[in-house]
Amino acid sequence: MICIVDYGMGNLRSVSKALEKVGGEVRVSSRPEDVKSAQKVVLPGVGAFGDAAVELGRRSLSEPLREILRKGKPFFGICLGMQLLLEESEESPGIPGLGIFKGKVRRFQDPNVKIPHIGWNQLKTKKADFPAFRTLPAESFFYFVHSYFPVPQDASLVLGETDYGNETFPSFIGNETIWAAQFHPEKSQEAGLQMMRNFVTR
């Protein structure tokens, strides 16, 4: 069972439908016990970092998420769900994230590009044999909607990057158990579905 965490700020229907389409057995839940008992966990998100972090705490979901992440349960963070893995964000000073990875979420600085970054862009993988990228064509296009991006202190966590204006930002971070994408795989057609299929079958 894959638990999609409902904290009131995710595009839950599109994520659940995409996972079901590639063979996932899915439960959307805001119950801490469902997060703890699930085989795999997905944390989607749309909105502001601070609001999301506060809402996770209000619903008693922060500690269960930290617990399953530290225990190594397979996890996929999407967009804001990726950013929440870090310690803090320039979007919401003073409000801590989950703090799984040391680092900060930063805003685009190039004055010559439109913010937010919306639309299709390429994922340049830094580790082509990473399981999330299995059978994906090199430099596949994915769909983005964001103004901020994560900058982990540990550069080895950056598994994929994307160019926007004069900046190259981490667009996929993770390790053996944690996958996290700044883009929306559930909105990224076949490439996104393949990545979600890779998560379901991992």
Q: What is the 3-state secondary structure (H, E, C) of 9-74?
A: CCCHHHHHHHHHHCCCCEEEECCHHHHHHCCEEEECCCCCHHHHHHHHHHCCCHHHHHHHHHHCCC
The question of whether 117 is a catalytic residue gets the answer no
Number of domains in the chain: 1
Catalytic residue among 88, 91, 161, 186: 186
* pLDDT of 123: 98
The question of whether 186 is a catalytic residue gets the answer yes
Q: What is the pLDDT along the chain (202 residues), one digit of tens a residue?
A: 999 999 998 889 999 999 999 999 999 999 999 999 999 999 999 899 999 999 999 999 999 999 999 999 999 999 999 999 999 999 999 999 999 999 999 999 999 999 999 999 999 999 889 999 999 988 899 999 999 999 999 999 999 999 999 999 999 999 999 999 999 999 999 999 999 999 999 9
Beta bridge partners of 151: 104
To 5 degrees, how large is the angle CA 84–CA 136–CA 107? 30
Rounded CA gap, 2 and 42, in Å? Answer: 7
* pLDDT of 133: 97
The pTM of this model reads 0.96
CB 48 within 8 A of CB 93: no
Catalytic residue among 3, 79, 91, 146: 79
Quick count: other Cβ atoms within 10 Å of Cβ 108?
A: 19
- Measured N-to-C along each axis, helices 49-58 and 62-71 cross at an angle, to the nearest 10 degrees, of 90
Q: What are phi and psi of 199, to 5 degrees?
A: -70, -45
Rounded CA gap, 146 and 84, in Å? Answer: 14
Print the domain residue range for 129: 2-201
* pLDDT of 137: 87
* pLDDT of 10: 80
Q: How, if at all, do strands 40-43 and 88-89 pair?
A: unpaired
* pLDDT of 95: 97
CATH no. for residue 70? Answer: 3.40.50.880
Task: Pull the structure tokens for residue 23.
Answer: 């063979």
